[in-house]
Amino acid sequence: MPKSRNEAKLATKYDLRVPRYTSYPTAPHFTEAVDGGVYRGWLGDLDADNPLSLYFHIPFCDEMCWFCGCYTKVVKRYQPVADYLDTLLAEVDLVADALPGRFRASHLHWGGGSPTMLTGPDWLRTLEKLRSRFDIGADAEIAVEMDPRTATEDYVGALARAGVNRASIGVQDFHPEVQAAINRIQPFDMTERVIGWLRSNGIEHINMDLMYGLPHQTTERVTDMVDLAVKLSPNRIALFGYAHVPWMKSHQKMIHEDTLPGGEDRWNQFEAASKRLEENGYVKVGLDHFARPDDDLAVALKEGHMHRNFQGYTTDASSVLLGFGASAIGHLPQGYTQNLSPLKGWRTAIENGVLPTARGVALSEDDRRRAAIIERLMCDLRVDLGEMGGAGAYRAEVEKLMPLVEDGLVTVDGERITITEAGRPFIRLAAAAFDAYLGEGEGRKEGGQPARHSRAV
């Protein structure tokens, strides 16, 4: 098998724009054929014996971070957030009324934006409301994405009282020059203090978000970033490659392109950070996550039942994820749904008693098989096409993997496809070979056709 010659050079060669495969089909392929009426029908057909996962989107922040690729907006007053929460809780009633019975909710995830824009009393009333509509056991995971810059000790106490038991802390990098360039000043001591409060209040599951490929980052700085992060001993670390898409997120224009590391530098940064994390005992999980060996995610990986959804890698095996809030995405056995994004449209639908679904996709049998193949590749870095019911069926797709095989990034042995360790940063490219929707204009080098997705590495 040819061994990869110069892996960093391959990062330039394969600098293609491909999806991150948090779903298949991916969101750009959702259509208006799935509306509130279709969603209502799907909800009505769910089986109350299967637990639900619930996702809540809070699209507000105190300040805009220049790197941000998420759906959020800056607000200076609390009233719009409080009004939004009222509508969100009305959406909970609408959806719960459409379900055939009372369901158990086993995973609740709050993302944004910054869900920690909500006040302590609002967290308490929200969880009370959710408990009135769903069975939420003591073993349920209640996870919140947290902006530590606004947290106080009292606030963390309120989160704990509401039942939150996992916090994902946004850090990105600890270096002052990098922080200044992304408009996110967050000294190390601040992050350390907030993690201390979380632990002393019993919120022991701590995730931390770090990034590479940010302005002014170097391999050395990224290694220092990891050294500081591991001092705080988070259970999980996400190491995201900065996706620079200023044509979609105009505030990213505040980041000067000449301060951004190039393809090879990005690769070297990822490799250096990843090596340092492993030296510190973290287990590599999929594309961009790391976990302490005792963490559930590392255990799920070892046992082959890790999953991938819109929140990234997860232990959540539920077949139903209901999305609440503007732009939120859901996944049901029948297909995907996405809510309206403009706040006004989302609110008006709910006020009129209509489920605020904007679009989605009903899954065909072919979609399901490809989704399962892509999920196994993204999670386990290997898949047996025969076991997925696809023996001999994906010859054209396997052919597309041949350049990756030539470069030592993938091996193909009969029906078994394996991504090599050198190929780990390129998993998305291997997954893309099985994506029947990836159009001509996608997956191209920037400068060619519209590149909707971020760099693969």
Q: Least Å distance between CB 58 and ligand SAM?
A: 9
Q: Please report which helix (H) or strand (E) contains residue 271, including its range.
A: helix 263-279
End-to-end CA distance of the chain, in Å?
23
Phi and psi angles of residue 214, each rounded to the nearest 5 degrees, phi first: -80, 165
State both tokens at 435: 């994506």
- Choice between 67 and 174, CB closer to ligand SAM: 67
- Choice between 140 and 151, CB closer to ligand SAM: 151
Q: Least Å distance between CB 68 and ligand SAM?
A: 5
Q: Least Å distance between CB 260 and ligand SAM?
A: 12
Nearest CA to 436 out of 14, 22, 25 is that of 25
Q: Least Å distance between CB 414 and ligand SAM?
A: 36
Q: CA-CA distance, 195 to 230, in Å (whole number)?
A: 12
Site string for ligand SAM, 405-444 (x = CB under 6 A): ----------------------------------------
- Choice between 111 and 425, CB closer to ligand SAM: 111
- Choice between 113 and 390, CB closer to ligand SAM: 113
Residue of 25, 36, 170, 425 that binds ligand SAM (CB under 6 A): 170
Number of amino acids touching ligand SAM (CB under 6 A): 17
Q: Tell me the one-letter amino acid at 92.
A: V
Q: Least Å distance between CB 113 and ligand SAM?
A: 6
What b/e string do you get for 32-57 counting C-beta neighbours within 10 Å, with b at 16 or more? eebbbebbbebbeebeeeebbbbbbb
The runs of H, that is alpha helices, within 201-262 are: 219-231
Q: Least Å distance between CB 121 and ligand SAM?
A: 20
Number of helices and strands in the chain (H, E): 15, 19
Q: What is the 3-state secondary structure (H, E, C) of 184-195?
A: CCCCHHHHHHHH
Contact set for ligand SAM, span 60-89 (CB under 6 A): 67-70
Q: Does 172 bind ligand SAM (CB under 6 A)?
A: yes
- Choice between 81 and 398, CB closer to ligand SAM: 81
- Choice between 111 and 261, CB closer to ligand SAM: 111
State both tokens at 31: 């259509």
Residue nearest to ligand SAM (CB): 170
The alpha carbon torsion through 330, 288, 235, 135 (nearest 10 deg) reads 10
- Choice between 66 and 437, CB closer to ligand SAM: 66
CA distances from 296 to 62, 205, 314 (A): 32, 10, 9
- Choice between 242 and 324, CB closer to ligand SAM: 242
Contact set for ligand SAM, span 105-134 (CB under 6 A): 111-114
Q: Per-residue DSSP letters for 354-384?
A: ---EEEEEEPPHHHHHHHHHHHHHHHHSEEE
- Torsional sign, CA 403, 407, 410, 411: positive
- Choice between 75 and 299, CB closer to ligand SAM: 75
- Choice between 4 and 309, CB closer to ligand SAM: 309
Q: CA-CA distance, 409 to 421, in Å (whole number)?
A: 8
Q: Least Å distance between CB 61 and ligand SAM?
A: 6
State both tokens at 29: 């392929």
Q: Least Å distance between CB 443 and ligand SAM?
A: 18
Query: How many Cα atoms within 13 Å fall on the side-chain side of residue 448?
Result: 11
Q: CA-CA distance, 225 to 214, in Å (whole number)?
A: 12
How many other β-carbons are positioned within 10 Å of the β-carbon of residue 441?
A: 12
- Choice between 69 and 120, CB closer to ligand SAM: 69
Q: Least Å distance between CB 236 and ligand SAM?
A: 13
Task: Measure the CA angle with vertex 109, ends 107 and 110; round to 5°.
Answer: 155
Q: CA-CA distance, 135 to 106, in Å (whole number)?
A: 8
Q: Least Å distance between CB 252 and ligand SAM?
A: 7
Residue 199, exposed/middle/buried by CB under 10 A (0-12, 13-18, 19+)? middle
Given the DSSP bridges, would you call strands 52-58 and 105-112 parallel, antiparallel or unpaired?
parallel
Contact set for ligand SAM, span 185-244 (CB under 6 A): 209, 211, 240, 242-243
Q: Least Å distance between CB 62 and ligand SAM?
A: 9
- Choice between 46 and 203, CB closer to ligand SAM: 203
Residue of 147, 288, 367, 407 that binds ligand SAM (CB under 6 A): 147
Helix (H, G, I), strand (E, B) or coil at 314: strand
Q: Least Å distance between CB 396 and ligand SAM?
A: 32
Binding site for ligand SAM (CB under 6 A): 67-70, 111-114, 145, 147, 170, 172, 209, 211, 240, 242-243
